[in-house]
Chains A and B, each alone.
Chain A
Amino acid sequence: MSLPALKGPRFAPMTVPNRDDHELIRACLDGNRESFATLVKRHEQRAFWAAYRVLGDSEASRDVAQEAFVRVWRALERFDFSMAFSTWLYRITINLAIDHLRRNKRHKGVDIDAFREALPDESFAPAPHAAQDRSEMTRLVRGVLETLDEKYRTVLALRDLEGLSSKQISDITGISHATVRWRLHVARKQFRENWNRMEARATSAAHRAAAATGPEAKDA
Chain B
Amino acid sequence: MSRHATCRTVRDLLPLHAGGDLPSDKAVLVDEHLHACLTCFREFRDYAAMRGRLGVLAEEPLPEGVLDGFAEEVMACVALGEGGPAAALPSARRWRPDARVITRWAAAAALLLLSGAGLWKAGWLDPLLVTPPPAGSDTVADARLEPDAPRASEPQGRSLSPPAALHPLLDPSRGAGVLAGEGSGVRPHEEPGGWQRGSPIEIELLQLPDMPGGQIRIFHLMSPRVSQPSLLLPEPGRKLRPRDPLEASP
Tell me the A residues contacting B by CB distance below 8 Å.
1, 3-4, 6-8, 10, 33, 36-37, 40-41, 44-45, 48, 53, 58-59, 61-67, 69-70, 73-74, 100, 129, 134, 137-138, 140-142, 145, 156, 159-163, 166, 181, 184-189, 191-192, 195-196
Contact = CB atoms under 8 A, between A and B. Distances in A.
Interface string B148-174: 000000000000000000000000000
Interface stretch (B66-74, B100-108, B209-217): B66-74
Interface in B3-45: 12, 15-21, 30-31, 34-35, 44
Interface of B: 12, 15-21, 30-31, 34-35, 44, 46-60, 62-63, 66-67, 70-71, 73-75, 77-79, 81-83, 88-91, 93
Considering residues A1, A48, A64, A187, which has the most beta carbons from chain B within 10 angstroms of its beta carbon? A1
User: What are the nearest 3 A-B pairs in CB distance?
Assistant: A188-B15, A66-B90, A6-B55
B67 A45 contact: yes
A173 B71 CA distance: 25
Contact of A37 (B53, B75, B82, B91): B75
A160 B88 contact: no
Given A37-B71, A48-B66, A70-B78, A192 B55 contact: no
A138 B21 contact: no
Nearest to B83: A74
Given A7-B59, A33-B78, A185-B15, A66 B73 contact: yes
A192 B67 contact: no
A160 B70 contact: no
B15 A184 contact: yes
Considering residues B46, B60, B74, B91, which has the most beta carbons from chain A within 10 angstroms of its beta carbon? B74
Nearest to A195: B50
Given A6-B54, A65-B70, A188-B18, A73 B62 contact: no
Contacts of A185: 12, 15-16
Given A44-B70, A70-B90, A160-B19, A145 B57 contact: yes
B84 to A, nearest CB: 10
Nearest to A196: B46
A141 B53 CA distance: 7
B152 to A, nearest CB: 55
Contact of B66 (A62, A64, A189): A62
Considering residues B58, B62, B83, which has the most beta carbons from chain A within 10 angstroms of its beta carbon? B58
A7 B66 contact: no
Given A137-B53, A185-B12, 13 more contacts: A1-B44, A3-B18, A4-B51, A44-B74, A63-B90, A74-B82, A129-B53, A140-B53, A141-B53, A181-B21, A184-B15, A188-B19, A188-B51
A106 to B, nearest CB: 15
A211 B93 CA distance: 53
Considering residues A41, A64, A73, A186, which has the most beta carbons from chain B within 10 angstroms of its beta carbon? A73
Contacts of A159: 19, 21
Contact of B91 (A67, A137, A156): A67
Given A40-B71, A66-B73, A181-B21, A195 B44 contact: no
B54 A40 contact: no
A70 B21 contact: no
A10 B55 CA distance: 12
Contacts of B60: 138
Nearest to B80: A70
A74 B49 CA distance: 43
Nearest to B50: A192
A191 B71 CA distance: 35
Contact of A41 (B44, B46, B71, B83): B71
Contacts of B83: 74
A36 B75 contact: yes
Given A37-B71, A37-B75, A138 B47 contact: no
